[in-house]
Structure 1
């Protein structure tokens, strides 16, 4: 009797689906606030430097507090830290809408960064701990898909709410976070860490061993390179490139970013399947090379149409660079452990903090090409280090001819 040519893949667990739903609600609210926040801060009579400080405070506090999140998770568990983090962001966002002075807004956004760190580290730790190696890539892809879809819907809603009031988006954000927190408390199951192949519960690998694992180091390097490239080059310089170099309307930047987000979202499912069946190592190596080539080519794009195409290529590569490194962290950490996930998250935040500053300086002092080339170099370094990862056995067997 011939066997099915398509072996069944393990289904995603309920916790993975719930985390994807939570990610959607969190990102819808975040997307609503982001376009409105700079305009709202300006109503307090401050300059652009103060506006930038409010935006940086969120990312800076995420970075500073992330190391403590691992300890909190080990003490209280992922679900409690996740819910508390969402609650902090919800309350601080609502209070931003009620703020009377600029310092209040600055402090509240910093508090929101602390809550965001708690949520993101706890959610990823729970995600990796509740999946096996055979489904970890698809689980990460599903979770990130919730973020991407929410991120695409949020700005459109933000524009509608801003027409009502500049404070309305902050209350809406608090409401979506309340929904996300309720879903987490009610539907997320107890903490159970899965072993690599059998699904049996297993303790996390000690952190001193995790940091020596080439899989974890390669994942952190890839996450740093992505944080640097996405915000340092793509987020900070592509809008300027469109307006000041190509002399196109600023609206084209939004179109290019939207197309790239759609391409990345569509690529998440195939990327997750590739990561689970072919392996993390080839995904990181291949995607790093493609992303480096695409982001470097953007500097030489002759028009906005080519730029948009290159951004879509980068978006597809980002789908692989979002799933494979996270899955590698789960493999190295034994399916869980708050500290490895916290360090992994910090790598991206560190790149996101330094990237815009260095890329902006290079673009001003040297050239746009130099800024894009440095980002491409980081991606290539990450891909090169991934060659040190151990060879992986295919987690889902491929069909043999004649079967």
Structure 2
């Protein structure tokens, strides 16, 4: 115990984010840029094989489905090989499969290769998040997660624009660009030496997963991640583009404008959100973030014009900044020094929401109305907020006392 206390005392006053966080942020940016590059061309490339829209959707779903199927095994793989090796290997799997997908000769080849990419994506996501959470002391987990998320957000904004330009060259050029950016990210991951993991993780208790499952912080984080995955991918990404065209009678370009505004707001908010999570606490951040997300997404189908729609989506972006940092920090608090399995299950919750959410949202919109589809997503977020009220308030001082 004395060792833990002395180690904890050395970590109480953070002088700044450690080098590993900046490297992981760079890797996140490269991965997100590459993924975003494929957004404008992947459906078109799939259609070039003469398939219908359902088959096009299957190419997108195969990536997410294989992520979900692979995630349960990533925790054990991390225990055997370590976070850094699993992270770099996962990135190279996605890079190789994406490069080969660009020269696919049939739809079946493209479908299989996208599924293989999902396997690598799961390896990267779980190991990178685990490395991030165990590379920093608890008092700066929110800020570290915020910086990491900012890398994804910036890459996600730049990627589609680059993809649009590359698609003018050829439909396959974005695949090779994606493979190249991932190769860079994987190389950076291999040379990353997790210096802080040995210090920080050793100062934290290794908590059995059964105990983690009973922790209210972890339960609230998983429920929030499920609700966020459901609403962000199932409701927002699926129905807002249709809402803009069919209800507000605006061209599809306005969907891009609305999403871009929300992404910029979220990127600006993610830094302050991370500081709030560390200074004020995880619980108030999750309660406030989920409540604001629920109310703002509920308002979207009632927006009388595109301007108020953009305002509602920007408010959702602010909420998403809190929901992208506080739950992950809570997982780190609950899981202790090694959280591979805990992070994998946490990641799976978002994947389940992202897979089931679009189907249920579309069914509700067809059978009832757009407000009904949005209301289910809002209810999940408000339920997550209610669940978060049961968790202990964890800020810097509380984490220090726990250590």
TM-score (norm 1): 0.94
Name the residue aligned to 1:3. Answer: none
Measure, in 1, the Cα distance between the counterparts of 2:195 and 2:208: 21
Matches of 1:194 and 1:371, distance apart in 2 = 47
Q: Which residue of 1 is the match for residue 247 of structure 2?
A: 245
Partner of 1:343: 345
Alpha-carbon shift at residue 132 of structure 1 (Å): 1.1
In the alignment, what sits opposite 1:157? 162
Aligned to 1:280: 282
Q: Write out per-residue CA displacement over residues 330-364 of structure 1, whole angstroms, 9 at most, x where no aligned residue.
A: 00001432000000000000000010000000001
Does residue 178 of structure 1 match 2:183? yes
Matches within 5 A, 1:155-304: 155-189=160-194, 192=197, 201-304=203-306
In 2 relative to 1, CA 200–335 (structure 1 residues): closer, same or farther, beyond 3 Å? closer
8 Å CA contact 1:193–1:335 kept in 2: the answer is no
CA distance in 2, matches of 1:83, 1:191: 18
- For residues 73 and 350 of structure 1, the distance between their equivalents in structure 2, rounded to whole angstroms, comes to 22
The Cα of 1:144 is off from its aligned counterpart by 0.5
Contact 2:270 2:321 in 1 (8 A): yes
Instruction: Tell me what 1:67 maps to.
Output: 72
Question: Which structure dedicates a bigger proportion of its chain to helix?
Answer: 2
Residue 10 of structure 1: how far off its partner (Å): 3.6
Q: Distance between the aligned counterparts of 2:242 and 2:343, measured in 1?
A: 34
Residues paired across the two proteins, number: 388
Partner of 2:38: 33
For the Cα contact (< 8 Å) 2:138–2:396, is it kept in 1? no
- Name the counterpart of 1:94: 99
Distance 1:12 1:100 in 2: 46
Query: Cα offset for 1:394?
Result: 4.1
Q: Does the CA contact (< 8 Å) of 1:194 and 1:202 recur in 2?
A: no
Q: CA distance change for structure 1 residues 115 and 136 in 2, over 3 Å: closer, same or farther?
A: same
Tell me what 1:389 maps to.
Answer: 391
5+ residue gaps, structure 2, are 1-11
Q: CA RMSD in A?
A: 1.5
Question: Deviation of residue 47 (structure 1)?
Answer: 1.1
The answer to whether the aligner puts 1:42 opposite 2:44 as a matched pair is no
Question: Which stretches of structure 1, 4 residues or more, deviate above 6 A after TM superposition?
Answer: none
Provide the residue aligned with 1:352 in structure 2. Answer: 354
CA contact (8 A) 1:193 1:336 kept: no
Q: Report the CA distance shift for 1:393/1:59 in structure 2 as closer, same or farther (over 3 A).
A: closer
- Aligned residue for 2:5? none
How many Å apart are 1:34 and its aligned residue?
Answer: 1.6
CA distance in 1 between counterparts of 2:170 and 2:397 reads: 52
Q: Check conservation: 2:135, 2:194, Cα contact below 8 A.
A: no
- Matches of 2:108 and 2:397, distance apart in 1: 52
Q: Say if 1:129 and 1:194, in contact at 8 Å, map to a contact too.
A: no
- Partner residue in 1 for 2:129: 124
Contact map agreement 1:81 1:122 (CA 8 A) in 2: yes
Q: How far 1:186 moved relative to its partner?
A: 1.3
2 CA distance for matches of 1:335 and 1:30? 30
